[in-house]
A and B are shown apart, each in its own frame.
Chain A
Amino acid sequence: MAKYLLLKHYRGGPEQRPSAQEPMESWTPQEVSDHIAFMQRVADDLAERGEFVDAQALAPTGTFVRYDGEGRPPVTDGPFAETKDVIAGWMIIDVDSVERAHEAAAHLSSAPGAGGKPLEEWIEVRPFLTELPTEVQ
Protein backbone atom coordinates (compact mmCIF):
# COMPACT_ATOMS: atom_id res chain seq x y z
CA MET A 1 0.00 0.00 0.00
CA ALA A 2 1.14 3.55 -0.59
CA LYS A 3 -0.28 6.87 0.47
CA TYR A 4 -1.21 9.62 -1.96
CA LEU A 5 -2.24 13.19 -1.38
CA LEU A 6 -5.08 14.26 -3.64
CA LEU A 7 -5.10 18.05 -4.04
CA LYS A 8 -8.31 19.49 -5.33
CA HIS A 9 -7.55 22.48 -7.55
CA TYR A 10 -9.90 25.43 -8.00
CA ARG A 11 -8.07 26.58 -11.03
CA GLY A 12 -4.88 25.70 -12.78
CA GLY A 13 -3.97 22.45 -14.43
CA PRO A 14 -3.10 22.00 -18.08
CA GLU A 15 -6.45 23.06 -19.55
CA GLN A 16 -9.52 24.27 -17.69
CA ARG A 17 -12.86 22.69 -18.54
CA PRO A 18 -15.69 25.23 -18.97
CA SER A 19 -17.72 23.48 -16.28
CA ALA A 20 -14.99 24.17 -13.73
CA GLN A 21 -14.84 27.89 -14.48
CA GLU A 22 -18.21 28.96 -13.17
CA PRO A 23 -17.78 29.98 -9.51
CA MET A 24 -19.67 27.89 -6.99
CA GLU A 25 -21.66 30.86 -5.68
CA SER A 26 -23.44 31.07 -9.01
CA TRP A 27 -24.70 27.49 -8.79
CA THR A 28 -28.17 26.70 -7.47
CA PRO A 29 -28.34 25.66 -3.81
CA GLN A 30 -29.37 22.18 -4.92
CA GLU A 31 -26.30 21.94 -7.15
CA VAL A 32 -24.09 22.94 -4.23
CA SER A 33 -25.74 20.35 -2.00
CA ASP A 34 -25.38 17.66 -4.66
CA HIS A 35 -21.72 18.47 -5.05
CA ILE A 36 -21.08 18.31 -1.31
CA ALA A 37 -23.07 15.08 -0.96
CA PHE A 38 -21.02 13.54 -3.76
CA MET A 39 -17.75 14.45 -2.09
CA GLN A 40 -18.98 12.92 1.16
CA ARG A 41 -19.99 9.76 -0.69
CA VAL A 42 -16.53 9.50 -2.25
CA ALA A 43 -14.96 9.70 1.19
CA ASP A 44 -17.41 7.11 2.56
CA ASP A 45 -16.71 4.74 -0.33
CA LEU A 46 -12.97 5.05 0.18
CA ALA A 47 -13.40 4.43 3.92
CA GLU A 48 -15.53 1.38 3.21
CA ARG A 49 -12.77 0.02 0.97
CA GLY A 50 -10.20 0.53 3.71
CA GLU A 51 -8.38 3.17 1.69
CA PHE A 52 -9.30 6.40 3.45
CA VAL A 53 -6.75 8.17 5.63
CA ASP A 54 -7.87 11.77 5.99
CA ALA A 55 -9.57 14.64 4.18
CA GLN A 56 -10.04 18.33 4.91
CA ALA A 57 -11.52 21.25 3.09
CA LEU A 58 -9.52 24.45 3.18
CA ALA A 59 -10.82 28.00 3.52
CA PRO A 60 -10.20 30.07 0.41
CA THR A 61 -8.34 32.65 2.48
CA GLY A 62 -4.78 32.45 3.67
CA THR A 63 -1.62 34.43 4.04
CA PHE A 64 1.92 33.90 2.83
CA VAL A 65 4.30 34.52 5.74
CA ARG A 66 8.07 34.63 5.74
CA TYR A 67 10.76 35.58 8.24
CA ASP A 68 12.29 38.79 6.94
CA GLY A 69 15.15 39.51 9.29
CA GLU A 70 15.49 40.43 12.96
CA GLY A 71 13.22 43.22 14.12
CA ARG A 72 11.29 43.44 10.90
CA PRO A 73 7.67 42.46 10.46
CA PRO A 74 7.16 39.18 8.66
CA VAL A 75 6.60 39.41 4.95
CA THR A 76 3.09 38.52 3.91
CA ASP A 77 1.52 37.85 0.54
CA GLY A 78 4.07 37.59 -2.20
CA PRO A 79 3.64 38.03 -5.92
CA PHE A 80 3.35 34.31 -6.59
CA ALA A 81 0.36 32.06 -6.94
CA GLU A 82 -0.64 30.90 -3.49
CA THR A 83 -2.37 27.71 -2.46
CA LYS A 84 -5.39 29.74 -1.36
CA ASP A 85 -5.80 30.64 -5.04
CA VAL A 86 -5.63 27.09 -6.25
CA ILE A 87 -6.24 24.46 -3.56
CA ALA A 88 -9.77 23.83 -2.30
CA GLY A 89 -8.95 20.91 -0.08
CA TRP A 90 -7.15 17.67 0.15
CA MET A 91 -7.62 14.01 0.82
CA ILE A 92 -5.12 11.33 1.75
CA ILE A 93 -5.69 7.79 0.60
CA ASP A 94 -3.74 4.58 1.14
CA VAL A 95 -4.13 2.33 -1.89
CA ASP A 96 -2.61 -0.69 -3.60
CA SER A 97 -1.27 0.97 -6.72
CA VAL A 98 -0.78 4.28 -8.46
CA GLU A 99 -3.44 3.18 -10.96
CA ARG A 100 -5.93 2.88 -8.12
CA ALA A 101 -4.89 6.34 -6.84
CA HIS A 102 -5.54 7.81 -10.30
CA GLU A 103 -8.89 6.03 -10.47
CA ALA A 104 -9.93 7.48 -7.10
CA ALA A 105 -8.76 10.97 -8.16
CA ALA A 106 -10.71 10.77 -11.42
CA HIS A 107 -13.79 9.76 -9.46
CA LEU A 108 -13.29 12.78 -7.19
CA SER A 109 -12.98 14.98 -10.28
CA SER A 110 -16.31 13.72 -11.59
CA ALA A 111 -18.17 15.53 -8.78
CA PRO A 112 -21.26 17.30 -10.14
CA GLY A 113 -21.20 21.08 -10.64
CA ALA A 114 -23.61 23.54 -12.19
CA GLY A 115 -26.39 21.77 -14.06
CA GLY A 116 -25.37 18.50 -12.44
CA LYS A 117 -22.66 18.03 -15.04
CA PRO A 118 -19.28 16.70 -13.92
CA LEU A 119 -17.11 19.58 -12.72
CA GLU A 120 -13.92 18.00 -14.10
CA GLU A 121 -11.67 19.92 -11.74
CA TRP A 122 -8.04 18.94 -11.81
CA ILE A 123 -6.92 16.71 -8.98
CA GLU A 124 -3.20 16.67 -8.30
CA VAL A 125 -1.96 13.26 -7.14
CA ARG A 126 1.25 13.34 -5.08
CA PRO A 127 2.83 10.19 -3.65
CA PHE A 128 4.06 10.34 -0.06
CA LEU A 129 7.73 9.68 0.53
CA THR A 130 8.06 6.87 3.02
CA GLU A 131 10.56 5.46 5.41
CA LEU A 132 13.00 3.17 3.68
CA PRO A 133 11.75 -0.40 3.51
CA THR A 134 13.95 -3.20 4.72
CA GLU A 135 16.98 -3.44 2.50
CA VAL A 136 17.20 -6.49 0.30
CA GLN A 137 20.26 -6.81 -1.86
Chain B
Amino acid sequence: MEDLLRRAGPRALAAVVRRGAGFADAEDAVQEALLEAGTRWPADGEPDDPVAWLVTVAWRRFLDARRAHEARQRREERHERLVPPGPTEQDDDTLLLLSRCCHASLSAASAVALTLRAVAGLTTAQVARAYLVPEATMAQRISRAKRTLAGATFDRPGDVGAVLKVLYVMFSEGHSGEIDLALEAIRLTRQLAAATDDPEVDGLLALMLLTEARRGARWTDGGALVALADQDRSRWDTTLIAEGVALVQGALARDRLGEYQVQAAIAALHDDAAAPAETDWPQVLEWYDELLRLTPSPVVALNRAVAVGEVDGPRAGLAVLDGLDPALPRLDAVAAYLTERAGDLADAARRYARAAATATSVPERDHLLRQAARLNAAARRDSTGAPTGVRDEGRHT
Protein backbone atom coordinates (compact mmCIF):
# COMPACT_ATOMS: atom_id res chain seq x y z
CA MET B 1 0.00 0.00 0.00
CA GLU B 2 2.95 2.30 0.68
CA ASP B 3 3.91 2.01 -2.96
CA LEU B 4 0.36 2.76 -4.08
CA LEU B 5 0.25 5.84 -1.87
CA ARG B 6 3.57 7.04 -3.17
CA ARG B 7 2.35 6.83 -6.75
CA ALA B 8 -1.13 8.22 -6.06
CA GLY B 9 -0.01 11.07 -3.77
CA PRO B 10 1.72 13.20 -6.40
CA ARG B 11 -1.14 12.70 -8.86
CA ALA B 12 -3.63 13.80 -6.24
CA LEU B 13 -1.43 16.80 -5.51
CA ALA B 14 -1.38 17.71 -9.19
CA ALA B 15 -5.18 17.51 -9.34
CA VAL B 16 -5.66 19.65 -6.22
CA VAL B 17 -3.20 22.23 -7.53
CA ARG B 18 -4.95 22.25 -10.88
CA ARG B 19 -8.24 22.99 -9.14
CA GLY B 20 -6.69 26.17 -7.86
CA ALA B 21 -5.18 25.45 -4.43
CA GLY B 22 -1.85 27.09 -3.65
CA PHE B 23 1.08 24.74 -3.80
CA ALA B 24 1.93 24.66 -0.09
CA ASP B 25 -1.74 24.43 0.96
CA ALA B 26 -2.34 21.66 -1.55
CA GLU B 27 0.62 19.71 -0.24
CA ASP B 28 -0.61 20.03 3.35
CA ALA B 29 -4.06 18.86 2.29
CA VAL B 30 -2.76 15.88 0.36
CA GLN B 31 -0.50 14.94 3.29
CA GLU B 32 -3.57 14.83 5.51
CA ALA B 33 -5.46 12.77 2.94
CA LEU B 34 -2.55 10.34 2.76
CA LEU B 35 -2.54 10.01 6.55
CA GLU B 36 -6.26 9.34 6.49
CA ALA B 37 -5.79 6.77 3.74
CA GLY B 38 -3.15 5.10 5.89
CA THR B 39 -5.69 4.47 8.64
CA ARG B 40 -8.88 4.03 6.61
CA TRP B 41 -7.79 1.81 3.73
CA PRO B 42 -6.45 -1.09 5.80
CA ALA B 43 -9.82 -1.20 7.60
CA ASP B 44 -12.22 -0.41 4.73
CA GLY B 45 -10.22 -1.80 1.83
CA GLU B 46 -8.60 0.20 -0.94
CA PRO B 47 -11.00 2.36 -2.98
CA ASP B 48 -11.54 1.59 -6.67
CA ASP B 49 -9.95 4.85 -7.68
CA PRO B 50 -7.35 5.74 -5.03
CA VAL B 51 -6.41 9.02 -6.73
CA ALA B 52 -10.03 10.20 -6.84
CA TRP B 53 -10.44 9.25 -3.19
CA LEU B 54 -7.34 11.21 -2.22
CA VAL B 55 -8.40 14.22 -4.28
CA THR B 56 -11.84 14.28 -2.68
CA VAL B 57 -10.49 14.04 0.85
CA ALA B 58 -7.63 16.47 0.18
CA TRP B 59 -9.98 19.00 -1.40
CA ARG B 60 -12.25 18.80 1.61
CA ARG B 61 -9.26 19.31 3.92
CA PHE B 62 -8.09 22.21 1.80
CA LEU B 63 -11.49 23.90 2.05
CA ASP B 64 -11.69 23.18 5.79
CA ALA B 65 -8.32 24.78 6.32
CA ARG B 66 -9.22 27.76 4.26
CA ARG B 67 -12.50 28.22 6.12
CA ALA B 68 -10.76 28.03 9.44
CA HIS B 69 -8.29 30.67 8.42
CA GLU B 70 -10.40 33.00 6.42
CA ALA B 71 -14.01 33.01 7.47
CA ARG B 72 -14.73 36.04 5.40
CA GLN B 73 -14.08 34.11 2.24
CA ARG B 74 -16.93 31.73 2.96
CA ARG B 75 -18.99 32.89 0.04
CA GLU B 76 -16.24 32.17 -2.41
CA GLU B 77 -15.81 28.72 -0.95
CA ARG B 78 -19.44 27.94 -1.54
CA HIS B 79 -18.84 28.77 -5.12
CA GLU B 80 -15.77 26.59 -5.19
CA ARG B 81 -17.61 23.67 -3.67
CA LEU B 82 -19.85 23.85 -6.69
CA VAL B 83 -16.95 23.28 -9.03
CA PRO B 84 -17.77 19.89 -10.51
CA PRO B 85 -15.15 17.28 -9.72
CA GLY B 86 -13.15 16.88 -12.90
CA PRO B 87 -11.36 13.76 -14.00
CA THR B 88 -8.64 13.05 -11.47
CA GLU B 89 -6.10 12.51 -14.13
CA GLN B 90 -5.48 14.79 -17.04
CA ASP B 91 -2.74 14.41 -19.53
CA ASP B 92 -1.15 17.67 -18.62
CA ASP B 93 -1.19 17.12 -14.85
CA THR B 94 2.29 15.68 -14.83
CA LEU B 95 3.67 18.51 -16.88
CA LEU B 96 1.68 21.01 -14.84
CA LEU B 97 3.15 19.85 -11.55
CA LEU B 98 6.61 19.40 -12.99
CA SER B 99 6.69 22.86 -14.50
CA ARG B 100 5.63 24.27 -11.16
CA CYS B 101 8.46 22.45 -9.39
CA CYS B 102 10.97 23.33 -12.10
CA HIS B 103 10.03 27.00 -12.25
CA ALA B 104 12.71 29.25 -13.71
CA SER B 105 12.89 31.29 -10.50
CA LEU B 106 14.32 28.28 -8.63
CA SER B 107 17.92 27.10 -8.74
CA ALA B 108 18.35 23.67 -10.30
CA ALA B 109 19.18 22.14 -6.92
CA SER B 110 16.03 23.56 -5.31
CA ALA B 111 13.93 22.48 -8.27
CA VAL B 112 15.25 18.92 -8.06
CA ALA B 113 14.57 18.81 -4.32
CA LEU B 114 11.03 20.10 -4.76
CA THR B 115 10.36 17.73 -7.66
CA LEU B 116 11.56 14.74 -5.66
CA ARG B 117 9.34 15.79 -2.79
CA ALA B 118 6.19 16.79 -4.66
CA VAL B 119 6.22 14.75 -7.86
CA ALA B 120 8.26 11.68 -6.99
CA GLY B 121 6.61 11.45 -3.58
CA LEU B 122 9.82 11.03 -1.56
CA THR B 123 9.96 12.10 2.07
CA THR B 124 12.12 15.05 3.03
CA ALA B 125 14.38 12.65 4.94
CA GLN B 126 14.90 10.56 1.80
CA VAL B 127 15.72 13.62 -0.30
CA ALA B 128 18.12 14.81 2.39
CA ARG B 129 19.91 11.46 2.47
CA ALA B 130 20.22 11.50 -1.31
CA TYR B 131 22.06 14.80 -1.00
CA LEU B 132 24.01 13.89 2.15
CA VAL B 133 22.76 16.92 4.04
CA PRO B 134 20.89 17.10 7.37
CA GLU B 135 17.14 16.69 7.11
CA ALA B 136 16.60 20.16 8.60
CA THR B 137 18.71 21.64 5.81
CA MET B 138 16.67 19.91 3.14
CA ALA B 139 13.40 20.90 4.82
CA GLN B 140 14.54 24.53 4.72
CA ARG B 141 15.61 24.24 1.10
CA ILE B 142 12.23 22.83 0.11
CA SER B 143 10.17 25.34 2.05
CA ARG B 144 12.34 28.13 0.69
CA ALA B 145 11.58 26.88 -2.80
CA LYS B 146 7.87 26.82 -1.96
CA ARG B 147 8.07 30.37 -0.61
CA THR B 148 9.74 31.47 -3.82
CA LEU B 149 6.82 30.02 -5.76
CA ALA B 150 4.12 31.40 -3.49
CA GLY B 151 1.86 33.70 -5.42
CA ALA B 152 2.86 32.45 -8.84
CA THR B 153 -0.21 31.48 -10.80
CA PHE B 154 -0.24 27.92 -11.92
CA ASP B 155 -3.04 26.83 -14.13
CA ARG B 156 -1.27 25.78 -17.28
CA PRO B 157 1.98 24.02 -17.97
CA GLY B 158 5.02 26.20 -18.30
CA ASP B 159 8.23 25.82 -20.17
CA VAL B 160 9.01 22.18 -21.01
CA GLY B 161 12.64 23.16 -21.56
CA ALA B 162 13.05 24.18 -17.91
CA VAL B 163 11.52 20.88 -16.79
CA LEU B 164 13.84 18.86 -19.01
CA LYS B 165 16.86 20.72 -17.67
CA VAL B 166 15.92 19.85 -14.10
CA LEU B 167 15.26 16.20 -14.96
CA TYR B 168 18.64 16.08 -16.67
CA VAL B 169 20.34 17.54 -13.59
CA MET B 170 18.54 14.97 -11.44
CA PHE B 171 19.69 12.16 -13.72
CA SER B 172 23.28 13.41 -13.64
CA GLU B 173 23.36 13.39 -9.84
CA GLY B 174 23.99 9.69 -10.18
CA HIS B 175 23.43 6.63 -8.11
CA SER B 176 24.97 7.22 -4.71
CA GLY B 177 22.82 7.12 -1.63
CA GLU B 178 19.65 5.30 -0.72
CA ILE B 179 17.56 6.97 -3.43
CA ASP B 180 18.80 6.37 -6.95
CA LEU B 181 18.30 9.81 -8.44
CA ALA B 182 19.08 8.62 -11.96
CA LEU B 183 16.28 6.06 -11.76
CA GLU B 184 13.90 8.64 -10.28
CA ALA B 185 14.73 10.95 -13.19
CA ILE B 186 14.02 8.16 -15.68
CA ARG B 187 10.71 7.38 -13.97
CA LEU B 188 9.59 11.02 -14.08
CA THR B 189 10.76 11.51 -17.67
CA ARG B 190 8.79 8.42 -18.66
CA GLN B 191 5.68 9.94 -17.07
CA LEU B 192 6.30 13.18 -18.89
CA ALA B 193 6.91 11.44 -22.21
CA ALA B 194 3.61 9.59 -21.83
CA ALA B 195 1.78 12.85 -21.14
CA THR B 196 3.27 15.12 -23.79
CA ASP B 197 4.00 15.21 -27.47
CA ASP B 198 7.44 16.74 -27.67
CA PRO B 199 10.39 15.07 -29.42
CA GLU B 200 12.80 16.65 -26.96
CA VAL B 201 11.12 14.80 -24.08
CA ASP B 202 11.61 11.56 -26.00
CA GLY B 203 15.16 12.66 -26.78
CA LEU B 204 15.96 13.16 -23.09
CA LEU B 205 14.37 9.84 -22.15
CA ALA B 206 16.38 8.11 -24.89
CA LEU B 207 19.59 9.77 -23.67
CA MET B 208 18.92 8.58 -20.12
CA LEU B 209 18.14 5.01 -21.18
CA LEU B 210 21.15 4.77 -23.50
CA THR B 211 23.40 6.02 -20.70
CA GLU B 212 21.78 3.88 -18.03
CA ALA B 213 22.28 0.84 -20.29
CA ARG B 214 26.06 1.04 -19.76
CA ARG B 215 25.85 1.35 -15.98
CA GLY B 216 26.66 -2.29 -15.21
CA ALA B 217 29.92 -2.14 -17.17
CA ARG B 218 31.10 1.16 -15.84
CA TRP B 219 32.80 -0.09 -12.70
CA THR B 220 35.17 -2.91 -11.86
CA ASP B 221 34.21 -5.25 -9.04
CA GLY B 222 36.64 -3.26 -6.92
CA GLY B 223 34.75 -0.06 -7.65
CA ALA B 224 37.20 1.50 -10.09
CA LEU B 225 35.98 3.48 -13.06
CA VAL B 226 36.13 1.75 -16.46
CA ALA B 227 36.52 4.02 -19.48
CA LEU B 228 34.00 3.61 -22.29
CA ALA B 229 36.46 1.94 -24.66
CA ASP B 230 37.48 -0.61 -22.01
CA GLN B 231 34.00 -1.60 -20.90
CA ASP B 232 32.81 -5.18 -21.26
CA ARG B 233 30.06 -4.55 -23.79
CA SER B 234 28.37 -7.86 -23.06
CA ARG B 235 27.34 -6.25 -19.78
CA TRP B 236 25.46 -3.44 -21.47
CA ASP B 237 21.69 -3.69 -21.15
CA THR B 238 20.46 -4.46 -24.67
CA THR B 239 16.79 -3.99 -23.74
CA LEU B 240 17.41 -0.43 -22.63
CA ILE B 241 19.55 0.20 -25.70
CA ALA B 242 16.84 -1.06 -28.04
CA GLU B 243 14.23 1.12 -26.34
CA GLY B 244 16.52 4.15 -26.38
CA VAL B 245 17.43 3.73 -30.04
CA ALA B 246 13.77 3.36 -31.03
CA LEU B 247 12.86 6.46 -29.02
CA VAL B 248 15.56 8.66 -30.52
CA GLN B 249 14.80 7.45 -34.04
CA GLY B 250 11.13 8.24 -33.56
CA ALA B 251 12.00 11.68 -32.16
CA LEU B 252 14.42 12.54 -34.97
CA ALA B 253 11.83 11.52 -37.58
CA ARG B 254 9.58 14.32 -36.32
CA ASP B 255 12.03 16.87 -37.60
CA ARG B 256 12.12 19.16 -34.59
CA LEU B 257 15.73 18.78 -33.61
CA GLY B 258 16.91 19.69 -30.13
CA GLU B 259 19.98 19.23 -27.96
CA TYR B 260 18.72 16.15 -26.09
CA GLN B 261 17.87 14.35 -29.30
CA VAL B 262 21.36 15.07 -30.59
CA GLN B 263 23.01 13.88 -27.37
CA ALA B 264 20.86 10.76 -27.52
CA ALA B 265 21.94 10.18 -31.13
CA ILE B 266 25.58 10.31 -30.03
CA ALA B 267 24.90 7.94 -27.14
CA ALA B 268 23.11 5.61 -29.55
CA LEU B 269 26.14 5.53 -31.85
CA HIS B 270 28.37 4.52 -28.92
CA ASP B 271 25.89 1.90 -27.71
CA ASP B 272 25.48 0.56 -31.21
CA ALA B 273 29.13 -0.44 -31.65
CA ALA B 274 29.92 -4.07 -30.81
CA ALA B 275 33.55 -3.03 -30.23
CA PRO B 276 35.21 0.37 -29.72
CA ALA B 277 36.82 0.15 -33.17
CA GLU B 278 33.38 -0.19 -34.74
CA THR B 279 32.19 3.15 -33.40
CA ASP B 280 30.98 5.33 -36.24
CA TRP B 281 33.17 8.30 -35.28
CA PRO B 282 32.54 10.34 -38.45
CA GLN B 283 28.83 10.31 -37.64
CA VAL B 284 29.52 11.07 -33.97
CA LEU B 285 31.53 14.08 -35.13
CA GLU B 286 28.70 15.25 -37.37
CA TRP B 287 26.31 15.13 -34.41
CA TYR B 288 28.78 17.08 -32.29
CA ASP B 289 28.94 19.73 -35.00
CA GLU B 290 25.15 19.86 -34.86
CA LEU B 291 25.20 20.06 -31.05
CA LEU B 292 27.72 22.89 -31.16
CA ARG B 293 25.36 24.79 -33.44
CA LEU B 294 22.42 24.21 -31.09
CA THR B 295 24.28 24.82 -27.81
CA PRO B 296 27.64 26.47 -28.43
CA SER B 297 29.16 25.66 -25.04
CA PRO B 298 32.83 25.03 -24.16
CA VAL B 299 31.93 21.61 -22.73
CA VAL B 300 30.39 20.54 -26.04
CA ALA B 301 33.48 21.85 -27.86
CA LEU B 302 35.67 19.80 -25.52
CA ASN B 303 33.74 16.58 -26.15
CA ARG B 304 33.81 17.30 -29.85
CA ALA B 305 37.63 17.41 -29.71
CA VAL B 306 37.63 13.73 -28.75
CA ALA B 307 35.60 12.90 -31.85
CA VAL B 308 37.92 15.03 -33.99
CA GLY B 309 40.84 13.07 -32.53
CA GLU B 310 39.20 9.81 -33.58
CA VAL B 311 38.33 10.98 -37.08
CA ASP B 312 41.30 13.16 -38.05
CA GLY B 313 43.94 11.90 -35.64
CA PRO B 314 45.08 12.97 -32.16
CA ARG B 315 47.06 16.00 -33.36
CA ALA B 316 43.92 17.42 -35.00
CA GLY B 317 42.10 16.86 -31.71
CA LEU B 318 44.84 18.63 -29.78
CA ALA B 319 44.67 21.54 -32.22
CA VAL B 320 40.98 21.93 -31.34
CA LEU B 321 41.90 22.05 -27.65
CA ASP B 322 44.36 24.88 -28.33
CA GLY B 323 41.41 27.11 -29.13
CA LEU B 324 39.61 26.38 -25.83
CA ASP B 325 39.88 27.94 -22.38
CA PRO B 326 42.65 26.04 -20.52
CA ALA B 327 40.67 26.36 -17.27
CA LEU B 328 37.86 24.21 -18.66
CA PRO B 329 37.13 21.24 -16.37
CA ARG B 330 38.32 17.94 -17.86
CA LEU B 331 40.34 19.69 -20.57
CA ASP B 332 43.56 18.22 -19.15
CA ALA B 333 42.05 14.74 -19.14
CA VAL B 334 41.08 14.99 -22.80
CA ALA B 335 44.47 16.52 -23.68
CA ALA B 336 46.27 13.71 -21.83
CA TYR B 337 44.32 11.08 -23.74
CA LEU B 338 45.03 12.67 -27.12
CA THR B 339 48.68 13.30 -26.21
CA GLU B 340 49.17 9.63 -25.38
CA ARG B 341 47.59 8.65 -28.68
CA ALA B 342 50.00 11.05 -30.39
CA GLY B 343 52.87 9.14 -28.77
CA ASP B 344 54.26 11.62 -26.23
CA LEU B 345 53.99 9.48 -23.11
CA ALA B 346 55.91 11.72 -20.70
CA ASP B 347 53.78 14.73 -21.55
CA ALA B 348 50.62 12.62 -21.40
CA ALA B 349 51.58 11.40 -17.90
CA ARG B 350 52.10 15.00 -16.78
CA ARG B 351 48.73 16.00 -18.16
CA TYR B 352 46.98 13.05 -16.52
CA ALA B 353 48.51 14.03 -13.17
CA ARG B 354 47.36 17.60 -13.65
CA ALA B 355 43.89 16.39 -14.61
CA ALA B 356 43.79 14.27 -11.43
CA ALA B 357 44.61 17.33 -9.32
CA THR B 358 41.53 19.14 -10.60
CA ALA B 359 39.14 16.18 -10.78
CA THR B 360 35.86 16.78 -8.98
CA SER B 361 35.06 13.22 -7.98
CA VAL B 362 36.99 10.48 -6.19
CA PRO B 363 36.57 7.74 -8.84
CA GLU B 364 37.56 10.14 -11.60
CA ARG B 365 40.63 11.31 -9.69
CA ASP B 366 41.70 7.73 -8.98
CA HIS B 367 41.19 6.76 -12.61
CA LEU B 368 43.33 9.66 -13.83
CA LEU B 369 46.06 8.94 -11.26
CA ARG B 370 46.20 5.33 -12.46
CA GLN B 371 46.58 6.55 -16.04
CA ALA B 372 49.46 8.81 -15.02
CA ALA B 373 51.09 6.00 -13.05
CA ARG B 374 50.73 3.60 -15.98
CA LEU B 375 52.46 6.00 -18.37
CA ASN B 376 55.21 6.85 -15.89
CA ALA B 377 55.88 3.14 -15.38
CA ALA B 378 56.02 2.68 -19.15
CA ALA B 379 58.46 5.58 -19.45
CA ARG B 380 60.69 4.05 -16.74
CA ARG B 381 60.71 0.68 -18.51
CA ASP B 382 61.55 2.55 -21.68
CA SER B 383 64.56 4.31 -20.13
CA THR B 384 65.93 1.04 -18.71
CA GLY B 385 65.80 -0.56 -22.14
CA ALA B 386 63.07 -3.01 -21.20
CA PRO B 387 60.49 -3.72 -23.90
CA THR B 388 57.63 -1.30 -23.88
CA GLY B 389 54.15 -1.85 -25.04
CA VAL B 390 51.82 1.02 -24.63
CA ARG B 391 48.46 -0.45 -23.99
CA ASP B 392 45.60 1.51 -25.36
CA GLU B 393 43.66 1.85 -22.17
CA GLY B 394 43.93 5.56 -21.66
CA ARG B 395 40.52 6.23 -23.02
CA HIS B 396 38.52 9.17 -21.86
CA THR B 397 35.50 8.42 -19.79
Q: Which residues of B contact A54 (CB under 8 A)?
A: 134
Closest Cβ of chain A to B356, distance in Å, is: 11
Q: Select A51's contact among B137, B175, B364, beta carbons within 8 Å.
A: B137
Find out whether the CB atom of A47 lies under 8 angstroms from the CB atom of B172: no
Given contacts A53-B133, A127-B360, A135-B397, contact A47 B207 (CB under 8 A): no
A34 to B135 alpha-carbon distance, docked (Å): 29
Q: Which residues of A contact B107 (CB under 8 A)?
A: 96
Find out whether the CB atom of A1 lies under 8 angstroms from the CB atom of B363: no
- Residue A49, interface by CB 8 Å: yes
Find out whether the CB atom of A130 lies under 8 angstroms from the CB atom of B137: no
- Residue B77, interface by CB 8 Å: no
- Residue B225, interface by CB 8 Å: yes
A131 to B365 alpha-carbon distance, docked (Å): 10
A133 to B138 alpha-carbon distance, docked (Å): 20
Find out whether the CB atom of B172 lies under 8 angstroms from the CB atom of A129: no
Q: Which residues of A contact B142 (CB under 8 A)?
A: 50
Q: Which residues of B contact A129 (CB under 8 A)?
A: 359-362, 365
- Residue A38, interface by CB 8 Å: no
Find out whether the CB atom of B140 lies under 8 angstroms from the CB atom of A50: yes
- Residue A136, interface by CB 8 Å: yes
**Closest B residue by C-beta to A131:** B176
Q: Size band of the A side of the interface?
A: 20 to 34
B-side interface residues toward A, CB under 8 Å?
107-110, 131-134, 136-142, 144, 171-176, 182, 207, 211-212, 214-215, 218, 225, 228, 263, 266-267, 270, 303, 359-365, 397
Find out whether the CB atom of A134 lies under 8 angstroms from the CB atom of B133: no
- Residue A48, interface by CB 8 Å: yes
Given contacts A1-B131, A129-B362, A129-B365, contact A134 B141 (CB under 8 A): no
A48 to B214 alpha-carbon distance, docked (Å): 40
- Residue A132, interface by CB 8 Å: yes
**Closest B residue by C-beta to A52:** B137
0/1 string, A86-113, CB within 8 A of B gives 1: 0000000010100000000000000000
Please name the 7 residue pairs, one residue from A and one from B, whose CB atoms are nearest each other, closest first: A50-B141, A50-B140, A1-B109, A131-B176, A133-B174, A132-B363, A132-B361
Q: Which residues of A contact B303 (CB under 8 A)?
A: 137
- Between A and B, 16 residue pairs with Cβ closer than 8 Å are A1-B109, A47-B137, A48-B144, A50-B141, A52-B134, A52-B137, A96-B107, A96-B108, A129-B359, A129-B360, A129-B365, A131-B363, A134-B175, A135-B214, A137-B228, A137-B270
Find out whether the CB atom of A50 lies under 8 angstroms from the CB atom of B138: yes
Given contacts A129-B360, A129-B362, A130-B361, contact A136 B263 (CB under 8 A): yes
Q: Which residues of B contact A52 (CB under 8 A)?
A: 134, 137
Find out whether the CB atom of B140 lies under 8 angstroms from the CB atom of A48: yes
**Additional pairs, 12, CB under 8 Å, beyond known A94-B133, A130-B360:** A49-B141, A49-B144, A54-B134, A96-B108, A96-B109, A131-B175, A131-B363, A132-B174, A134-B172, A134-B182, A135-B211, A136-B207
A48 to B136 alpha-carbon distance, docked (Å): 9
